[in-house]
C-alpha cells in the first residue's frame, strides 16, 4: 500500500512538473511574442513618423534633400534616412527612405512623392462681372473693371473689362461702367467706352462652365469645392439654409438653397462665395453687405452690395430677367482680392508643413 501511495505521489509531482514547465514555456513564448510584436510595431511607427517629418520639411522647403544617410535617435529607437531625387515611370519625384530600429527590430519604408501647388493658380474672370447670359444694369450700381487693391484703391493701367458676356449687355438707369482696355483706363460712366464691354464672347476653351470647379484653374488634388466647404477648413461653410450661415463669411462658402433661392442675401465677408446646384438654377438675389473675393453663382439678380474682386454668373437662362443690379453698390475688379480668395482653398498639411505633397508610391 505504501509503495502505491509513493507511486501516486511521485506521479503527481511529475504531472505537476510537466504542467508547470508547459505553462512556463507558454508564458515565456507569449511574453516573447508580445515583445516582438510591440517592438515591430514601434519600429514601424518610428519609420512612419520619420517619413511624415521629412515630407513636412520638403513641403516647407522644396529644395530640402539628404543625399547621404543620417542616423538619429528617436523615441527610444533610431532612424536612418535619406531624401533624394528619383524617377518612376518617367515622372520626376522625391524619394523618402527611412530605416528604423527598435530593440533590434528593423523597418524600411520608401515613399515617392511630388510637391503640388497648394492653391488654385487662377480664376476665369475676364471682367468685373462675367456672365453667360444677356445682362442689364439699372439703378446706381457701379461696375468697374479697372484694377484695385483689396481695399479698393485704384491701380492704374492694370485692369480688364467691366463686363464680359457670351451674350449681350445693356446699360440703363444711372449705372456706371468702367474698365481697362490695352492698359488704358476708362472711368466709370453712364455712357461707357465700348472697348471695355465684351459681348458675344466665347468662353475660354469653348464651353461655358457648369460647375464652380470649372471656373477656378488647377484646383489642388481635384478637390470638390462642396466637400471642401463641408470640411470647415479655414472657416469654410456648406449650407442648404442660408439662415444657418455664420458671419463674417470666410474660406469657401457654398450655399445650395433647398428652395432654389437665397433672397435678401447677406454676403458680408471674404473668400470664395458659391451659390450653385446641379440644375444650374440656384438664385442669389438682392444682396447686402460688403464682400471681398470671388462670387460664383448660377443666377444673379440685383447686386446691392459693395464687392471687391470679381463676380461670375453661370446660367445661360436667368429666372428673373437679366438685371444684374438695380440699386446702389459697386463691383470693383481686384487682382489682389482674387489672389487672396484663391488662398481660401488650402488643403490640410502634414503637421507643421505649409503645404502638401502628392504621394505617388509607398513601399514597405
Res. 221 pLDDT band, cuts 50 70 90: low
d(Cα 354, Cα 359) in Å, to the nearest integer?
Answer: 16
By percentage, how much of the chain surpasses pLDDT 90?
60
d(Cα 242, Cα 248) in Å, to the nearest integer?
Answer: 13
Grid cell locating 183: 492698359
The helix, strand and coil proportions of the chain, stated in percent and rounded to the nearest 5, come to: 25, 40, 35
Burial of 251 (0-12, 13-18, 19+ CB in 10 A): buried
* Residue 79, beta-bridge partner list: 72, 100
Res. 3 pLDDT band, cuts 50 70 90: low
pLDDT at 188: 97
pLDDT at 179: 98
pLDDT, average across residues 314-322: 82
CA angle (297 as vertex; 292, 301 as ends), nearest 5: 95
Q: Which residue has the cell 502628392?
A: 358
Q: How many helices (H) and strands (E) does the chain have?
A: 3, 25
Q: Is the pLDDT of residue 186 over 50?
A: yes
pLDDT at 359: 81
d(Cα 270, Cα 214) in Å, to the nearest integer?
Answer: 20
pLDDT in tens, 243-284: 999 999 999 999 999 999 999 999 999 999 999 999 999 999
Could you check whether the bond before residue 248 is cis, i.e. omega within 30 degrees of 0? yes
pLDDT in tens, 122-138: 899 999 999 999 998 88
Q: Is the pLDDT of residue 20 over 90?
A: no
In degrees and rounded to multiples of 5, residue 31 shows phi and psi of: -65, -45
d(Cα 17, Cα 262) in Å, to the nearest integer?
Answer: 83
Instruction: Out of 187-196, 212-221, 242-251, pick the least confident.
Output: 212-221
3-class DSSP state of 282: coil
d(Cα 173, Cα 38) in Å, to the nearest integer?
Answer: 77
Q: Residue 23: which residues within 8 A CB-CB, separation 6 or more? A: none
pLDDT at 356: 63
pLDDT in tens, 105-124: 889 999 998 876 667 778 99
pLDDT at 353: 42
Q: Is the pLDDT of residue 304 over 50?
A: yes
Helix (H) or strand (E) holding 338, with range, is helix 335-342
Q: What strand order describes the sheet that includes 357-363?
A: 66-74, 77-88, 91-102, 105-115, 357-363
Taking the domains of the chain in order of start, what are their residue ranges? Answer: 2-117+355-363, 122-342
pLDDT at 113: 87
HSE, side-chain direction, 13 A CA sphere, residue 283: 19
Does residue 75 come out as left (phi exceeding 0), alpha (psi in the -120 to 50 range) or beta?
Answer: left
Instruction: Determine if the pTM surpasses 0.85.
Output: no
pLDDT at 21: 54
Q: Is residue 299 within 8 Å of residue 321, measured between CB atoms? A: no
pLDDT at 352: 44
Closest by Cα among 301, 267, 268 to 284? 301
Q: Residue 298: which residues within 8 A CB-CB, separation 6 or more? A: 275, 276, 277, 280, 281, 282, 283, 284, 313, 314, 315
Q: Which of 5-19, 24-38, 46-60, 127-141 has the highest mean pLDDT?
A: 127-141
3-class DSSP state of 167: coil
pLDDT at 358: 74
Res. 172 pLDDT band, cuts 50 70 90: confident
Closest by Cα among 251, 296, 285 to 269? 251
Whole-angstrom CA distances from 234 to 198, 219, 286, 289, 328 are 35, 16, 27, 21, 31
Grid cell locating 212: 464652380
Neighbours of 52 (CB within 10 A): 16
Q: Is residue 75 within 8 Å of residue 63, measured between CB atoms? A: no
Closest by Cα among 346, 326, 329 to 268? 329
pLDDT in tens, 61-72: 778 999 999 999
Higher pLDDT, 13 or 237: 237
CATH class of the domain whose range is 2-117+355-363: alpha beta
pLDDT at 63: 86
Average pLDDT taken over every residue of the chain: 87
Higher pLDDT, 99 or 31: 99
Q: Is residue 320 within 8 Å of residue 134, measured between CB atoms? A: no
pLDDT in tens, 343-357: 888 765 444 444 467
Amino acid at each position: 500500500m505504501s509503495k502505491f501511495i509513493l507511486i501516486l505521489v511521485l506521479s503527481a509531482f511529475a504531472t505537476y512538473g510537466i504542467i508547470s514547465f508547459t505553462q512556463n514555456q507558454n508564458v515565456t513564448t507569449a511574453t516573447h511574442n508580445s515583445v516582438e510584436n510591440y517592438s515591430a510595431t514601434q519600429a514601424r511607427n518610428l519609420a512612419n513618423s520619420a517619413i511624415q517629418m521629412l515630407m513636412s520639411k520638403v513641403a516647407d522647403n522644396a529644395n530640402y534633400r539628404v543625399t547621404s544617410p543620417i542616423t538619429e535617435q528617436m523615441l527610444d529607437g533610431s532612424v536612418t534616412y535619406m531624401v533624394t531625387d528619383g524617377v518612376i515611370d518617367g515622372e520626376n519625384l522625391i524619394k523618402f527612405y527611412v530605416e528604423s530600429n527598435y530593440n533590434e527590430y528593423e523597418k524600411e519604408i520608401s515613399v515617392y512623392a511630388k510637391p503640388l501647388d497648394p492653391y488654385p493658380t487662377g480664376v476665369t474672370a475676364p471682367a468685373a462681372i462675367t456672365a453667360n447670359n444677356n445682362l442689364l444694369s439699372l439703378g446706381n450700381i457701379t461696375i468697374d473693371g479697372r484694377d484695385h487693391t483689396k481695399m479698393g484703391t485704384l491701380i492704374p493701367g492694370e485692369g480688364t473689362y467691366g463686363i464680359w458676356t457670351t451674350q449681350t449687355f445693356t446699360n440703363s438707369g444711372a449705372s456706371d461702367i468702367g474698365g481697362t482696355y490695352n492698359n488704358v483706363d476708362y472711368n466709370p460712366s453712364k455712357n461707357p467706352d465700348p472697348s471695355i464691354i465684351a459681348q458675344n464672347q466665347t468662353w475660354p476653351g469653348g464651353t461655358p462652365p457648369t460647375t464652380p470647379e470649372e471656373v477656378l484653374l488647377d484646383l489642388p488634388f481635384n478637390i470638390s469645392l462642396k466637400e471642401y466647404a463641408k470640411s470647415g477648413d479655414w472657416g469654410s461653410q456648406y449650407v442648404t439654409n442660408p439662415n444657418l450661415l455664420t458671419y463674417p463669411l470666410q474660406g469657401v462658402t457654398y450655399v445650395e438653397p433647398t428652395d432654389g433661392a437665397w433672397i435678401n442675401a447677406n454676403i458680408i465677408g471674404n473668400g470664395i462665395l458659391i451659390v450653385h446646384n446641379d440644375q444650374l438654377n440656384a438664385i442669389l438675389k438682392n444682396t447686402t453687405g460688403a464682400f471681398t473675393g470671388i462670387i460664383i453663382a448660377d443666377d444673379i439678380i440685383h447686386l446691392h452690395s459693395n464687392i471687391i474682386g470679381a463676380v461670375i454668373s453661370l446660367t445661360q437662362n436667368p429666372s428673373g430677367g437679366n438685371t444684374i443690379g438695380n440699386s446702389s453698390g459697386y463691383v470693383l475688379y481686384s487682382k489682389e482680392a482674387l489672389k487672396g480668395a484663391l488662398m481660401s482653398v488650402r488643403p490640410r498639411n502634414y503637421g507643421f508643413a505649409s503645404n502638401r505633397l502628392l504621394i505617388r508610391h509607398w513601399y514597405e
